[in-house]
Amino acid sequence: MAYIVPVSSSYYFNSPVFSNRTSIKSKSSFVELPCRTFVRCPLVSKGSKTAGKQEIDYGDDEKRLAAVQQCTSKVELDISALEKQFSASDPQEIVDFALSNFGDEVAIAFSGAEDVVLLEYARRTGKPFRVFALDTGRLHPETYRFYEKASQYFKVSIEYQFPNAEEVEALVREKGLFSFYRDGHGECCGIRKVRPLKKKLSCLRAWITGQRKDQSPSTRSFVPTIQIDPTFEGKDGTKLFKFNPLANQSSEQVWSMIRALELPYNELHERGFVSIGCEPCTRPVLPNQHEREGRWWWEEATQKECGLHKGNLSSSGTEAKASQQVDALIKDEPIVVFARSDCPFCKQAKALLDALSIAYKLIEIDKVENGAELLEVLQKRTGQNTVPNIFISQKHIGGWTQLEQLYQKGLLRANSDRRVQLQN
């Protein structure tokens, strides 16, 4: 369980949520931390020499409740900063982070395939962990046997989620047992997988998946290690954290671990099955075929998601488009300012450029249709999660502070053709 602790300006926190010593500058902020975490916290008077520097264990529930009552505002986990921090991290670190920060409100989604390594990473943390699986009613017998074998091996009870029986009966009665070959897999997967998953996730604050970028170049090439789930909501309708520890791992790396540690695996892998789902929609792949060729082979490659990771279908295409848009802008324009219409620092940047009669391209991300995608691309490309985000002569210079510094040093002026010039 997480508890809220008060934060004052310039105090430091020691927590898995933040790297080492992270200064919280805003007075209008708070942070959620696991109850067992030691926190550098200003519970002592501000005049004290130890203010903000004393490690305090909140101890019993009464003290924790008192801490909660002192809280007046909130600092949410900075998802872009976390994604950057863990973008190249070992899967073990990511799983440990998830379990440390979300406790029993995070669970591993186990598909009965290569994602068995996630259970091993979780076991290695020494922390209790939850595992759930979607029983669609149409899985291979080998998959059911593997679930039981994994449950015994890792000494964990798998929480099975089932589809609504009435919905399944209605679908079969109206369209038969194999309507997906004719109408596409969307309807059947929606009933047997997506809705049960949605129900399960509504009881969690985070989930851990076995998604990898190499599983499907058409739909998973942009999968981050940590994200806010673009499709599902978490407990009480809150944002749902989604951890993809294997995102940067290859199939070869995953299997090297399975073999080296002699972990249990699905017998179907021995018969040419790589990506494993329901029996009617899964088949072995031939040598040199991509693993996703064994799933929904009668449909387009860009549609080979069952809906559990539906955000991949939109994000992969829209992010690529947004990235191309950013490339075109900074290539064709001498200076580009990505801003928000309500941002005071953006207004200062615009005022300075206007005063210098410097031509620039202004993109107000809150006024364009794909603003969120543009912002995400900029964050990943520059590491900056604030606006204004400014490019000059195709180079990223930073925000308002960096622009002002260039001006004060006399390095920024306008040419006669109203194009910007950076002096060396």
* Domains defined along the chain, listed by start: 2-70 (no CATH), 79-308 (3.40.50.620), 314-422 (3.40.30.10)
State the average pLDDT over residues 357-379. Answer: 85
**At 105, is the pLDDT very low, low, confident or very high (cuts 50, 70, 90)?**
very high
- What is the residue type of 327? D
SS (H, E, C) 300-314: CHHHCCCCCCCHHHH
d(CA 416, CA 390): 22
Name the least confident of 217-226, 256-265, 297-306, 395-404: 297-306
Is 124 or 194 the better-scoring residue by pLDDT? 124
**At 142, is the pLDDT very low, low, confident or very high (cuts 50, 70, 90)?**
very high
Does pLDDT of 386 surpass 60? yes
Structure tokens at 262: 């002699």
Q: Are 1 and 68 in contact (CB under 8 A)?
A: no
Helix (H, G, I), strand (E, B) or coil at 275: coil
Residue 98's Cα: distance from chain center in Å? 11
State the average pLDDT over residues 67-93. Answer: 65
State the average pLDDT over residues 370-397. Answer: 85
The yes-or-no answer on residue 203 being catalytic is no
The yes-or-no answer on residue 346 being catalytic is yes
End-to-end CA distance of the chain: 54
Is 43 or 140 the better-scoring residue by pLDDT? 140
Catalytically annotated residue among 189, 278, 281, 343: 343
Taking only the tens place, the pLDDT of each residue in 255-286 is 999 999 999 999 998 888 888 888 888 888 77
What per-residue confidence (pLDDT) applies to 215? 67
Taking only the tens place, the pLDDT of each residue in 207-260 is 999 998 876 555 546 688 998 888 888 999 888 999 999 998 988 999 999 999
Q: Return the top range by mean pLDDT from 36-45, 56-65, 235-244.
A: 235-244
Which pairing describes strands 11-13 and 22-24: parallel, antiparallel, or unpaired? antiparallel
Average per-residue pLDDT for the chain: 75
- Transcribe 305-344 into DSSP letters: --STTTHHHHHHHHHHHHHHHHHHHHHH-SEEEEE-TT-H
Is 203 or 76 the better-scoring residue by pLDDT? 203
Q: How big is the CA angle at 9 (ends 6 and 14), to the nearest 5 degrees?
A: 60
d(CA 202, CA 140): 27
Name the least confident of 128-137, 222-231, 247-256, 394-403: 222-231
Q: At what angle do helices 79-86 and 91-102 cross, to 10 degrees?
A: 150
For residue 242, give the nearest of 161, 149, 297, 312 by alpha carbon: 312
What per-residue confidence (pLDDT) applies to 282? 84
What per-residue confidence (pLDDT) applies to 298? 60
For residue 274, give the nearest of 287, 292, 260 by alpha carbon: 292
Residue 183: CB atoms within 10 A of its CB come to 11
d(CA 279, CA 277): 6
Structure tokens at 181: 């070959």
Which pairing describes strands 130-134 and 106-109: parallel, antiparallel, or unpaired? parallel
Residue 30 forms beta bridges with which residues?
6
What per-residue confidence (pLDDT) applies to 305? 52
pTM of the complete model: 0.56
Rg of the Cα trace of the chain?
25
- What is the residue type of 393? S
Residue 388: CB atoms within 10 A of its CB come to 25
d(CA 319, CA 370): 9
**Element spanning 4, H or E:** strand 2-6
d(CA 274, CA 296): 13
State the average pLDDT over residues 68-73. Answer: 33
